[in-house]
Each structure stands twice: as structure tokens, then as C-alpha cells.
Amino acid sequence: GAVVSQHPSRVICKSGTSVKIECRSLDFQATTMFWYRQFPKQSLMLMATSNEGSKATYEQGVEKDKFLINHASLTLSTLTVTSAHPEDSSFYICSASPGLAADTQYFGPGTRLTVL
């Protein structure tokens, strides 16, 4: 099946620093990718829709200046958590679809961010 990778898988940073997370679709082109965050024992919460060649669409309540998304190519989207604080510590997961309204959507393995 299609593979989506994420890097890094785990990151620990100091409060106030910025962290970049990469999401790559390895064997298909994805015009749209999605970024989720998941707190322990909770469901996935959609943060934003990443569109290749255009600005990301953020869900209500998600600060676009804090969570910068760049979709540089059809296989790469990046999420940068700027000026991270301990409350940003979470599990961040990206997903990509091989086509609009496809019958599956592939997820990356996730990135666990810990902000000290």
C-alpha cells in the first residue's frame, strides 16, 4: 500500500524554540495533505489542510501564525511549530490522499513532540 513518512518520529525541544515536522508521500502525489494533533487517550483533531501551491486552510481555533504549514511539492508538506510551549506537546500526525474522494487516506507514523 501507499506509504506516508514523517520526520522526526520524536523530538524534544526547549520552550521558545521552533520545530519543523516533515510529511512525505513516498509513492504517490498528494495535492492535499492534512495535519492532526492527538492528545493522550483522545481522538485526532484536524488542525489544517495543506494545499500544494497555495495557503493552508486552518480549522477554527488553530493559530496559523503558530503552526506554519508549507506544501512545497506534491510529495512534501511541513508543519513548523513556532515558539513552542509545553502545552504544544502532543502527537502530530499527517495524512495524504492519493486522489479527491479516494476510498482511503494514508497516515504517517506520527511525531511525538515534547516541549520542556
Q: Which is nearer to other proteins, 70 or 107 (CB)?
A: 107
3-state secondary structure the chain: CCCEEEECCEEEECCCCCEEEEEEECCCCCCEEEEEEECCCCCCEEEEEEECCCCCEECCCCCCCCEEEEEEECCEEEEEECCCCHHHCEEEEEEECCCCCCCCCEECCCEEEEEC
Query: Minimum CB separation from other proteins for residue 38, in Å?
Result: 8
Q: Which is nearer to other proteins, 44 or 68 (CB)?
A: 44
Residue 92 · residue 113 · CB < 8 Å: yes
Question: Restricting to residues 7-36, which ones interact with other proteins according to CB under 8 A?
Answer: 32, 34
Amino acid at 33: M
Residues 69-98: x where in contact with other proteins by CB under 8 A, - otherwise, as a string: ----------------------x-x-x-x-
Q: How far is the CB of 91 from other proteins (least distance, A)?
A: 6
User: Looking at 44, 68, 74, 76, which residue binds other proteins (CB under 8 A)?
Assistant: 44
Residues that bind other proteins (CB under 8 A): 1, 32, 34, 38, 42-44, 46, 49, 91, 93, 95, 97, 100-110, 112
